[in-house]
C-alpha cells in the first residue's frame, strides 16, 4: 500500500468511492445529488492537498487537508477521509489519519479539527479518540441521519505540536 498526492486523473477512481459514501448520507455533509464536477472541486481542487491510498494501481481511499478557517484560524487544519467499501476493516482510515497528522505538522498546522462527526458513526468516534482527538463540542440534532433522524454531531480536535 502506498500513499501519494492525488492527480486530477485520480478522480475517476475517487468518484465512485465518494458517491457511494455521500449517497448513503450517514457520515458526510455533502448534498446527496452532488455532481462529479462539484465533488472534484470540493475534494481535489479547493483543499490545500489531497492524497490517495493505492494498492497496485487501485485507489482504495483518499483524504484532503485544508485550513479549517482563514486568518486568525488558519493554524488549525481540517481533514476528510474516505475508504472504498471493499477496503474497509483493513486499517486504511488509521493509516490516512496518521499520515495526515504528519503532513499537517510539515505544513505548519498546529491543530486538526473535525467539524461534523455524526454521533451515530460510533466507529469513527472511537477511532479518532484512539488517535488522540478529543470531543470538544456536541451539536444537538445537527446531523439528519437517513434512518435515525436528527442525531447530535460532534466536534473533535487534536493539538498536534508536542511543544506548546
Length of the chain: 164
Q: What percentage of the chain's residues is helix, strand, coil (to nearest 5)?
A: 35, 35, 30
Q: Which of 16, 20, 73, 108 binds a copy of itself (CB under 8 A)?
A: 73
Using CB under 8 A as the binding rule, whether residue 46 contacts a copy of itself is answered as no
Decide: is 39 part of the binding site for a copy of itself (CB under 8 A): no
Helix (H, G, I), strand (E, B) or coil at 149: strand
Instruction: Name the minimum Å distance from CB 91 to a copy of itself.
Output: 26
Q: What is the dihedral of CA 5, 85, 160, 131, to 10 degrees?
A: -150
User: In this chain, which stretch among 53-61, 81-89, 90-98, 110-118 interacts with a copy of itself, using CB under 8 A?
Assistant: 110-118
Q: What is the 3-state secondary structure (H, E, C) of 69-102?
A: CCHHHCCEEEEEEEECHHHCCCCHHHHHHHHHHH
CB of 43 to a copy of itself, least distance (A): 13
Residues that bind a copy of itself (CB under 8 A): 22, 25-26, 28-32, 34, 69-76, 110-111, 113, 115-116, 118, 136-146, 150, 153, 155, 157, 159, 164
Amino acid at each position: 500500500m502506498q500513499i501519494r498526492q492525488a492527480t486530477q486523473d485520480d478522480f475517476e477512481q475517487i468518484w465512485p468511492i465518494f458517491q457511494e459514501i455521500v449517497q448513503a448520507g450517514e457520515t458526510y455533509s455533502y448534498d446527496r445529488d452532488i455532481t462529479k464536477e462539484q465533488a472534484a472541486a470540493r475534494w481535489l481542487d479547493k483543499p490545500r492537498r489531497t492524497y490517495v491510498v493505492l494498492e497496485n494501481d487501485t485507489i482504495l481511499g483518499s483524504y484532503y487537508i485544508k485550513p479549517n478557517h482563514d486568518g486568525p484560524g488558519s493554524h488549525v487544519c481540517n481533514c476528510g477521509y474516505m475508504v472504498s467499501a471493499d477496503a474497509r476493516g483493513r486499517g486504511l482510515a488509521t493509516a490516512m489519519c496518521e499520515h495526515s497528522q504528519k503532513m499537517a505538522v510539515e505544513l505548519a498546522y498546529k491543530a486538526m479539527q473535525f467539524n461534523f462527526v455524526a454521533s451515530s458513526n460510533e466507529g469513527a468516534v472511537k477511532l479518532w479518540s484512539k488517535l488522540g482527538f478529543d470531543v470538544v463540542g456536541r451539536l444537538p440534532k445537527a446531523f439528519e441521519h437517513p434512518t435515525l433522524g436528527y442525531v447530535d454531531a460532534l466536534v473533535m480536535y487534536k493539538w498536534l505540536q508536542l511543544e506548546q
